[in-house]
Structure 1
Amino acid sequence: MAKSLRSRWKRKCRAIKRERYAVKELARLKKMLGVKEEEKVSEKEVMESDQVIFLDAGALKANKKKKETPPEEEEDVEMSSDEEKVEVSDDKGEKRIFNSKTLKDQNGQYPVWLHKRKIAKLTNAKKKFKRKTKSKKRK
């Protein structure tokens, strides 16, 4: 097929777009990979030639550990299957005691993360259990 003027023009415009977007994409890729110009002063020539240096995850983690001070260790809440009550502290610093069986706190409220369907299942199961115990008592 013959190459029309319109298709030539469209190809030319797409080539210009590719060049323009390549610069943005390279900057985004460098930012995502953690390559910074201040850190890579010795490899400035490589950066100017628009090449990306790929680092493995182990090297990036090692660099971060060297730079960062060790964070203070937070106390974890110990949970055991034997205990029925579990203490949890909120973001606000309030402590709540949750019952592991009913999933309610000391005020009788369910946690925020618990879905409405799960709450409905729990209440229905509780009602069924009460019906069974009542029918057994009558006999």
Structure 2
Amino acid sequence: MAFLENRPMVSFITPDVAIGTYLDAEDKAVIAGQGFRSILCLNGHLYGCEPAACGVEALKVYDFIDGPGNDPWLVRQAVLTLEKFVKQSPKVLVHCRAGRSRSVVIVAAWMMRTAKLSPEDALAFIAKQREIALTPGIEDLLYEEDWEK
């Protein structure tokens, strides 16, 4: 857990989408304080905070590998879920364990789809808001898919 001791605070990438850690997703004060209405969990499980008790209207959990080997169809579903959450109930928290790899790739893919950014531009935009540390191979997801479809 040493890598989480100096974890970054929740980082808003856009006014409606933030990246955080699993600790943020289970912290009622963070959820209420930031006004999150939806949570997109990418590490397979949500701890602690019962969504309704935290004021969360929408929750979806995906179990992604932090590296290569993720099912492209499932990745697309996560991006479409993020898109839906933003439209239905803005203020979305996207998290994995440390919020530096899986979450970054899904938000970057969403930005490629909705803002028509290149993979490099999407990652650079996120990196201005939050420290990123992509696990080798995970960024391949940004190049293997046509995100504008």
Q: TM-score, normalised by structure 1?
A: 0.22
Structure with the higher strand share, 1 or 2: 2
Of structures 1 and 2, the one with the larger relative CO (CA 8 A, separation 6+) is 2
Larger Rg: 1
Q: TM-score, normalised by structure 2?
A: 0.21
